[in-house]
Amino acid sequence: MKLPRRHFELHRTDRVGWLRAAVLGANDGIVSTASLVVGVAAAHSSQASILVAGVAGLVAGAMSMAAGEYVSVHSQADTEQADLSRERIELEQHPAAEQRELTAIYVTRGLEPELAHQVAEQLMAHDALGAHARDELGISESLSARPVQAALASAASFAVGAALPLAVTALASAQSLIPWVSGTSLAFLALLGIVAAHVGGASVLASARRVTFWGALAMAITAGVGALFGAVV
């Protein structure tokens, strides 16, 4: 029998791993560095000191993002592997029970019991572990944890995001540094929200509004703390 030609589609869920890490990294890079710069500037520091603090924040933040993402996603990967190992043992020791379990899953999804039994039987004959990983555990190739990918995406995107307010800091005059960094950083955040929403298929306006609100709040609080600390010291 001639097999039907497979129809390939590009889904947004295929991007969810690296997209989440990249957006989170860039957003944190902009917000944390801009807030750091504004806070140090509000404490009446020199422009050179502000730049040094910003560069240090970029390096430390990128490394922190990479380490945090790697540890977090690696923990997810370890959990997935542990579940797969347990499922592999159960398939070896209790194949009939595992087939009934898979059949029950397909019945709850709308298949007739007889058809569900046939589907479970054929899928387990083809790739028993893959079928249970996908339909019982919810582990698929596109959504599986990739620690190194997430760490690199987070570190790189954080550095790119942090470089934007740093560039403005280097170019702006000392007197207008705070409004320039604040304004351009909010514009960068809005643009990031728009791009992320477009790639992920979400609402552009809601995404842009969300990231700019929290970015503005972070910079305002940091500026207030910096001004208070500068006045006291």
Strands (E), the chain: none
Please give the share of the chain, as a percent, with pLDDT higher than 90. 29
Q: Say how far apart CA 215 and CA 182 lie, in whole Å.
A: 9
Query: Mean pLDDT throughout 205-220?
Result: 89
pLDDT value of residue 7: 45
Give ∠ CA 177-159-41 in degrees, rounded to 5: 20
* 1 pLDDT tier (thresholds 50, 70, 90): very low
Q: What is the pLDDT of residue 145?
A: 61
Mean pLDDT for all residues in the chain: 83
Average pLDDT over residues 108-123: 87
List pLDDT tens digits, range 21-63.
677 788 889 999 999 999 999 988 899 999 999 999 999 999 9
Higher pLDDT, 104 or 17: 104
Q: Are 33 and 57 in contact (CB under 8 A)?
A: yes
The owner of tokens 């893959």 is: 130
Of residues 151, 152, 157, the one with CA closest to residue 58: 157
Q: Is the pLDDT of residue 11 over 50?
A: no
The CA distance from 46 to 41, in Å, is 7
Q: What tens digit of pLDDT does each residue of 180-194 get?
A: 999 999 999 998 888
Q: Where are the domains of the chain?
A: 24-228
